Amino acid sequence: MPNPSQRSLQAHSSPIRKLAAYADQAKKDGKTIWHLNIGQPDILSPEQALQAVKAADLKLLAYSPSGGTASYREKMPRYYHKFGITIAPEDILVTNGASEAILFALLACLDAGESVLTPEPFYANYLGFAGMAGVEVKTVPTRIETGFALPSVDDFRRAITPDVRAILLCNPNNPTGTVYPEAMLRTLAEVVMERNLFLLVDEVYREFCYGDTPFFSALNLPGLEKHVVVLDSISKRFSACGARVGAILTRNHELLTAIQKYAETRLSPPTYGQIFAEATLDTPETYFETVKAEYQRRRDLLYRRLSAMPGVSCYLPDGAFYLFARFPVDDADRFCQWLLEAFSYQNQTVMLAPGSGFYGSPGLGMQEVRLAYVLNCDDLNCAMDCLERALEQYPGRTETSTLNAEPVDHSLR
Pick one of 35, 83, 89, 128: the residue that binds a copy of itself (CB under 8 A): 128
Site for a copy of itself in 265-304 (CB under 8 A): 265-273, 276
Is the Cβ of residue 115 or residue 401 nearer to a copy of itself in the bound state? Answer: 115
Q: Rounded to whole angstroms, how far apart are CA atoms 317 and 148?
A: 9
- Would you count residue 96 as binding a copy of itself (CB under 8 A)? yes
Each residue 16-55 as x (binds a copy of itself by CB under 8 A) or -, in order, gives xxx-------------------x-xxxxxx----x--xx-
Pick one of 28, 59, 347, 410: the residue that binds a copy of itself (CB under 8 A): 59
Site for a copy of itself in 137-196 (CB under 8 A): 165-166, 196
Is the Cβ of residue 97 or residue 355 nearer to a copy of itself in the bound state? Answer: 97
Residues pairing with 350 in the sheet: 34
Pick one of 9, 162, 405, 410: the residue that binds a copy of itself (CB under 8 A): 9
Give the binding range for a copy of itself (CB under 8 A) out of 94-102, 183-191, 293-301, 353-361. Answer: 94-102
Is the Cβ of residue 228 or residue 408 nearer to a copy of itself in the bound state? Answer: 228
**Minimum CB distance to a copy of itself, residue 61 (Å):** 4
Contact in structure between 22 and 367 (CB atoms under 8 Å): no
Each residue 205-234 as x (binds a copy of itself by CB under 8 A) or -, in order, gives ---------------------xx-------
